[in-house]
Structures are given as structure tokens and as C-alpha cells.
Amino acid sequence: MSVTHSVRPPPLVLMVDAHEDTREMCGCLLRRLHGLAVQGAATACDALRMVAESAPDIIVTEMALPGVDGYELCRRLREQATMRATPIIALTAVVMPQEVEKAYQAGCDVVLSKPCAPATLLETIYRLLPSLQPLPVAS
């Protein structure tokens, strides 16, 4: 009798930012240090296409995107039945009170300001994905 073990794939994070260096830095942190799967998108249109191809477990997006901005991206995502419960983190340099409120109204769960400490981003992801267990800290 053989026993089949299913290995659960790591949670998929969609990182949406026009700046490649930001996507790479966050992607490297999440992928290499914490074992998460990461996809990157430079625009809202790219992000919407990626969401249609493989539903991410969580989305981290800049609000100031070229073309369709992050606010509209969030609204469009929340219109999709499959994305209504997916956590969205706004990681943005635009953190004036009215912009923060606009991000929440568009459907963001959390708004973090850039620059953001990697530990803060990770803590937020762990909080929004309770099934994800933090890796032990190396001593």
C-alpha cells in the first residue's frame, strides 16, 4: 500500500510596482528568505492578466502605477468574485491621509508606507495569511 503525500505549494504573492528594483528586492526577500512564490507586474494591466492566469494568495501593490493606477486595480480586483477575499497590501510612497482613505475605499486591507522595513511587510503578510507559518529565525 503506497501513501501519497501532497505537498502544498508556497503561497503566491503578486508584487505590483512600476519600479523593477522594488519588485526584485521584495521578491528576493519573500522568495529566498521566506520560501514564498512571487510574481511581479509593472502595470495594473499586467497584474490583471496574471490574476486571471494564476490567482495569487496575496497582492502587494504600489498605488502610483503608470496608466491604470493602483486604486483602480484594487477596485477591478474586488469586482471579481474570486478576488474579493484575497488580501491586498498597498505599499506606497503616497501616504497622505486622503490617499490612505482612498486606498481603503478601493479595497486595500492594509496600507504601508515606502520605504517599508522588510520585517513590517513580512509581519503584515503573515497576519493576512494566517495559515502561513513564519520561518524560525536563525541564531
3-state secondary structure at position 12: strand
What's the pLDDT band for 3 if we cut at 50, 70, 90? low
3-state secondary structure at position 106: helix
What are the residues whose beta carbons fall under 8 Å from the beta carbon of 75, sequence distance 6 or more? 106, 107
3-state secondary structure at position 15: strand
C-alpha cell at 13: 504573492
Q: Domains in the chain and their CATH numbers?
A: 12-128 (3.40.50.2300)
Residues 31, 36, 39, 40, CA torsion sign: negative
User: In what side-by-side order are the strands of the sheet with 110-113?
Assistant: 37-41, 12-16, 58-61, 88-92, 110-113
What's the pLDDT band for 139 if we cut at 50, 70, 90? very low
Indicate whether this model's pTM tops 0.75: yes
The predicted-structure confidence for 88-120, as pLDDT tens digits, reads as follows 999 988 788 999 999 999 999 999 998 888 889
What's the pLDDT band for 137 if we cut at 50, 70, 90? very low
